[in-house]
Amino acid sequence: MYLHAFKEQLLGGPAEARPHGRDYTSRFARWDSLASVRRKPRREFEADPAGLYFPPELYPVVLHPLVAARGEAVVSGLLLQRLYDYLDFTTELENLAVIPVATKISRGRSGLALPEQMRADAHKIVTDEAWHAQFSDDFARQIATETGCPRLGPQNPAGPAFVTRLDELRHRLPHGLRGVESLLFAIVSETLISGILSDLPRDDRLPTAVRELVRDHAEDEGRHHVYFRSVLKCLWPALTPSERRAVGPLVPAAIHAFLAPDYERAAHQLAGAGLSRDEIDQVVSEAWPADQVRRSIAEAAAQLTYYFTEVGALGDSRTLSSFEEAGLVGIPHEAEKAGRVPREVTA
């Protein structure tokens, strides 16, 4: 088992036989003086009875009349649960999706022939992400103590929605390519800076410590974004044409896995707030209309779509069709327009 784990690569076959990645400029030279794990304190949560725990606009079920009618205490409780879910999502994402990939890269077992500096920097990403997972978990514990309101019910046994979506994606890949979805998903999730990461630090309705915690995370993720764009630039030319044809059409599903709202989790929380099954179905479908979700995902992913275009992925007709069917093509990306990073809609 351990020998198997040692040898297992994310992308099969001898890495040296694949084209070598050379396009890399490190953003980690000043990591010791910039990384939050090195220079930021533990954030200490203090309850603010008048404050919001999470922006309602990023969790639109609470704005639905059927939920709002239940009163401020119910809405506030749901926003608190949403904050718990975000913290839990962060810990799971780091542990399941990012740390394993960065670890494989650091040990030279991604299956790609990457520059030495890129491998060295992957260790710093592992450390950053372990810290993000740790401080998110620690913060959730502080919130429970300070507010006296623990997470509602047991943790979701199925995990956040991205976990099952990622399993579905893996099963759509040919056997020989299974594992590459983890690289793909790390690229997708690390280059899509979330709406939470970009919006929460600026939202002065929220407790200060929440804003600081998310800002600490966002600052590290800026460096990771640049890194994983480089990973994509190394990955795509390293794939054979038939591998590209197999992987390319699945990219929109990886984007969806990360960006689509976690409907089941929302349903679970609404049930905890006392809504009936019919009310939950109505609230979820009306708070997240399918065409609006699709549009929001496309806008959030516009820059990433540009990155895939840049490496030539959309030159394959089935990949292009898949992007078109997902509504991802033809959306101007925000970085192009204003030097900004796009949003996430999962919030």
CB of 230 to Fe ion, least distance (A): 14
Name, in order, each residue with C-beta under 8 angstroms of 288's C-beta and a sequence gap of 6 or more.
60, 61, 261, 263
Dist. CA 166–CA 225, nearest whole Å? 20
Return the number of the residue (92 or 129) whose C-beta is nearest Fe ion. 129
Residues 163-192 binding Fe ion (CB under 5 A) are 190
> Of the listed pieces 152-160, 220-228, 260-268, 277-285, which binds Fe ion according to CB under 5 A?
220-228
Q: Does 124 bind Fe ion (CB under 5 A)?
A: no
Return the number of the residue (213 or 247) whose C-beta is nearest Fe ion. 213
Contact 188, 340 (CB under 8 A): no
DSSP symbols for 220-244: HHHHHHHHHHHHHHHHHHHS-HHHH
CB of 190 to Fe ion, least distance (A): 5
Query: Residues binding Fe ion: what is the number (CB under 5 A)?
Result: 5
In sign, the C-alpha dihedral spanning 10, 14, 18, 23 is positive
Dihedral angle at the C-alpha atoms of 291, 196, 86, 295, nearest 10 degrees? 10
CB of 193 to Fe ion, least distance (A): 9
Residues 231-270 binding Fe ion (CB under 5 A) are none
**From 124, 165, 224, 233, residue interacting with Fe ion (rule: CB under 5 A):** 224
CB of 221 to Fe ion, least distance (A): 5
Q: What is the CA radius of gyration of the chain?
A: 20
CB of 283 to Fe ion, least distance (A): 30
Return the number of the residue (213 or 293) whose C-beta is nearest Fe ion. 213
Residue 67 has, within 13 A of its CA and on its CB side, a CA count of 27
Cβ neighbours of 169 (radius 10 Å)? 21
Report the residue number whose CB is nearest to Fe ion: 224
**From 43, 82, 132, 265, residue interacting with Fe ion (rule: CB under 5 A):** 132
Given the rule CB under 5 A, which residues bind Fe ion?
Answer: 129, 132, 190, 221, 224
